[in-house]
Each structure stands twice: as structure tokens, then as C-alpha cells.
Amino acid sequence: MFKINDNYQKLPGSYLFSTIAKKVSAYSAANPDKQIIRLGIGDVTQPIAPAIIDAMHKAVDEMGHAETFHGYAPDLGYDFLRNAIVANDYKARGCDISADEVFVSDGAKSDSGNIQEIFAQDNKIAVCDPVYPVYVDSNVMAGRTGTYDADTQMWSDVIYMPCTSDNNFVPELPKETPDVIYLCLPNNPTGTTITKSQLQEWVDYANKVGAVIIYDAAYEAYISEDDVAHSIYECEGAKTCAIELRSFSKNAGFTGVRLGFTVVPKELKCGDVSLNAMWARRHGTKFNGAPYIVQRAGEAVYSDAGKAQLKEQVGYYMKNAKAIKEGLTKAGYTVFGGVNAPYIWLKTPDQMSSWDFFDYLLENANVVGTPGSGFGPSGEGYFRLTAFGTYENTLAAMERIQTL
Ligand code: MLT
């Protein structure tokens, strides 16, 4: 008889956003007349920018002619996209990253779940708490975590770095030395971030203790403050200790198109072994390249027209973030984030638990958010709202919350 990967049995419940979707569907089925406003999962609502649609149309047409048809994409990504990424995301910011250090993929969620594969089973991971659930869950599936304690909502063998209003949501260097450190900045879920000099401390620490940082920069397009780094490679020494994950979902609305990339510098080594070579081997074996049409769409993100249109789109969502911050503050809530990220993190009122507040808001305002505790124990007593809704729905949600 075959045996299953028992580690999956350790995972409690279903994936956070699946649980929320089920709850909302059940409520909606029982209350078909209610107009639900969804500010839960960070899914975008604005259409793909015209410059990107044009590029996709052109690529679709190319696929219909033998002379311009494309089959399998190069497994690490087309040069036209890797070069555009390097020029715009790295060289333009003074980061010395080359095209063969960029691995194009179908999105940052896959990469953030898969990257742990190249590390040993007995590596110890450190995560911020609260945290994007994929980092922990993918390590649970791989058997890198111990047992789950339902009372503390923590895994043994995982180093948690609490990020709460007490420390201004800035993770502190852990007492116990980790091997792999996950940092998502600007942060999902808290919507807060740290300065470039605070990030430099992490880079120095990782280099000192021999840890690797998995740096998820999916929300970098939302940075509005000058002292915040857009890439970890803006920090000195990051190429010997950091892998960076990037997404086209949030800056260009590709949640349904699917495109991302991971940067693994050639200088990042474990002894003589190059992690760049390992990730290339993994990618080549398990991934057949992002579709040509989608990579052409990605290239258009970096065109002059694409950049201008996306600046406007990011501005649209940040206007929502401002409306949420102001609306909630007016309603008496304590709010964080929303300045360098499209997420607003609020304290639940009257010491309500995160899930109780979820139910309360769904039932009384028909607004969906994400319970903070779903991201980790230190998220208890907090709640996340996304700025990715439409402006009209965002304002309507604020009005409903204010009249509660
Ligand atoms: C979120 O809501 O946290 C994100 O949309 C999840 C994701 O990007 O996968």
C-alpha cells in the first residue's frame, strides 16, 4: 500500500483564504439579498492596463502564425523579459543584478512555496508573526516544522518574530539563530514596512550568522516613502545572503494572468555550492516556463506607456488605502499600514477576537476582511482590509462601518 506525505496531515484546517471564501459563500447563500463588499483577499479589481493588453493581443496574433509561433518558453524566462526586469527593477536602482540571476515564473506564490525545496530538512526557519501563510505551510508540507500547538497556534521548530504595535511592527533579530529567514516588506498582512537602514541590519545579521533571507517584495510598487528599499539588493552585502521574490500581481494586476520572478544572485553560496545553479536545476526540471503571451505582457509593464498607466493604477489603490485609513479612524478604530502597502491593519474593537470581528463585520456591514489571527498568533486582535477593491465599494464599506 502506498504511503502519503504525513506532513500534510499536520496542517490545521484549510488554507486561510479558502476558509474565508467558504464562510462568505455560506453567508451569501443564506442571505441572497445582501450586497457583500469583499475587502478580504488581496485580489485586484482594476482591468489590465491598455499598454499591456496591446502587447498581449500582439503576442496572441503571433501565436497564430507559423513564422512567429512560440512553443515551450525557455525554462528560466525569455531574455526580453529578464533584460527588462534587470534594467528597470535593479540597474535603475543601482543594484548590480544580471539577467542570469533572474528566474521568471508563474507568480510569487509558487516561488515562495517552492523555494524551501533547495534547503536541508533540518534547517530552522524564522518568520514574522503575523505572516503570509504560504511560508509556514510550505515548510510544514516539507516536514521542516515540528508539531502544531493549537493553544498557542505555533509550530515547534519555527522561530516566530512577533510584529505588533508594541514594536511598531518591526521584527527584532531572533535570539535563537535561524537558517532561513522569511521577510515580506512592505508587509503582508500588516501593511507596514521598515527603513532601508533597518533592512541593512537584517542583511548584516544574515551574513554574520550564515542565514539566507527569502525576501518577498511583492508590494514594492506601493512604497511611497524615500527611506524604504524597493529591493533588498539596495543593501550592501545582500547578494551573499538574500533571494528576492517579485510579483506582477499587485503592481500590474496579474493575479489572473500569473507572472512573477525570483532573483538568486550567483554570489549566494553554501560552501562551494551555488544556489543560483540549484534553483536553475529545480526550475528546469519542474517548470516549463511562463507562457510567451504572459511574458510579453510582463515586458509591457516596463514600457513607457505601461509604467505611466500602472503608476496611475497604484495611485488608485492607494487612494482607497487613504479612504480606509481615514474612514476607520473617523469610526474610532486604531489603524496601521496603508502608507507603503495596499493593506490596512486595524485593532479589533472591544478586545473582540479576530474571527468574532470577521463574523460581526460580515453579518452587520456585509463587509469581508481577513482575521489577523489567520496570519499567526500575534495577529490575534487585529484585522486586515485590502485597498484592492473599487473606490466606490471602498467608500461604501467605510460608510457601513461608520454607521455600525
Ligand atoms: C493576500 O490576500 O494575502 C494575497 O492576495 C495572497 C496572495 O498574494 O497570494
Q: What is the per-residue pLDDT across 169-212, written as a single tens digit (0 to 9) for each?
A: 999 999 999 999 999 999 999 999 999 999 999 999 999 999 99
Q: Measure the CA dihedral 238/239/244/246, to 10°.
A: 110
Residue 302 assigned as binding residue: no
Please give the average per-residue pLDDT across 160-170, as a whole number: 97
d(CA 303, CA 293): 16
| 15-19, 162-166, 224-228, 342-346: least confident range | 15-19
Q: What is the ipTM of this complex?
A: 0.93
Assess whether 363 and 256 both reside in one domain: no
Q: Tell how far the Cα of 85 is from the centroid of ligand 1, in angstroms.
A: 22
Measured in Å, residue 67 CA sits from the centre of ligand 1 at 39
Which residues neighbour 204 within 8 Å (Cβ) at sequence distance 6 or greater? 237
Ligand-binding annotation for 280, yes or no, is no
* DSSP bridge pairs for 162: 129
- Of ligand 1's listed atoms, the one at least distance from the Cα of 250 is 8
* C-alpha angle 11-15-16 in degrees, rounded to nearest 5: 120
pLDDT at 305: 98
288 has binding-site annotation: yes
Measure the CA dihedral 23/28/31/37, to 10°: 100
Ligand 1, atom 3, lies closest to the CA of: 42
- Residues 244, 390, single domain; the answer is no
Angle between helices 304-330 and 391-402 (to 10 degrees): 10
How much of the chain, in percent, has pLDDT values that exceed 90?
98
Contact 257, 248 (CB under 8 A): yes
Q: What is the mean pLDDT of residues 313-323?
A: 98
The domain boundary residue, chosen from 282, 303, 324: 303
Nearest CA to ligand 1 atom 6: 42
Which of 244, 274, 303 is where one domain is finished?
303
Residue nearest to atom 9 of ligand 1 (CA): 109
Atom 4 of ligand 1, nearest CA residue: 42
* 232, 151: one domain: yes
**Cα angle for residues 9, 12, 16 (degrees, 5° grid):** 125
Expressed in angstroms and rounded, the spacing between residue 249 Cα and the centre of ligand 1 is 9
For residue 43, report the distance from its CA to the centre of ligand 1, in Å: 7
Which numbered atom of ligand 1 lies nearest the CA of 249? 8
254 CA to middle of ligand 1, Å? 12
**Nine cell digits for residue 272:** 562551494
The boundaries of the domain holding residue 318 are: 7-48+305-402
Question: Do 43 and 73 share a structural domain?
Answer: no
Which atom of ligand 1 lies at the shortest distance from residue 43's CA?
5
Cα–ligand 1 centroid distance for 252 (angstroms): 14
Do 150 and 202 lie in one domain? The reply is: yes
CA–CA separation, 61 vs 77, rounded Å? 20
132 is in an annotated binding site: yes
pLDDT of residue 75: 87
Atom of ligand 1 nearest to the CA of 41: 2
Residue 109's identity, in one-letter code, is: K
Matching residue, cell 532561513: 180
- pLDDT of 14 over the 90 cut: no
Say what the alpha-carbon torsion angle 69, 70, 71, 74 is, to the nearest 10 degrees: 170
Cis peptide before 130 (omega within 30 of 0): yes
2 within some domain: no
Residue 108 known to bind ligand: yes
Which ligand 1 atom is nearest residue 109's CA? 9
Q: Are residues 161 and 186 in the same domain?
A: yes
Q: Which of 102-106, 148-152, 179-183, 314-318 has the lowest mean pLDDT?
A: 148-152
Query: Grid coordinates standing for 43?
Result: 485580489
Amino acid at site 46: Q
CATH of the domain at 188: 3.40.640.10
Ligand 1, residues at Cβ distance < 6 Å: 41-43, 109, 132, 188
Please state the domain count of the chain: 2
The answer on 337 and 293 residing in a single domain is no
Percent of the chain with pLDDT over 70: 100
247 is in an annotated binding site: yes
Residue nearest to atom 5 of ligand 1 (CA): 42
Single-letter residue type at 254: F
Task: Check pLDDT > 90 for residue 13.
Answer: no
What one-character DSSP code corresponds to residue 87? Answer: I
Position 379, amino acid: G
Is residue 49 within 8 A of residue 313, CB to CB? The reply is: yes
DSSP-derived letter for residue 197 is H
Per-residue confidence (pLDDT) for residue 145, from 0 to 100: 96
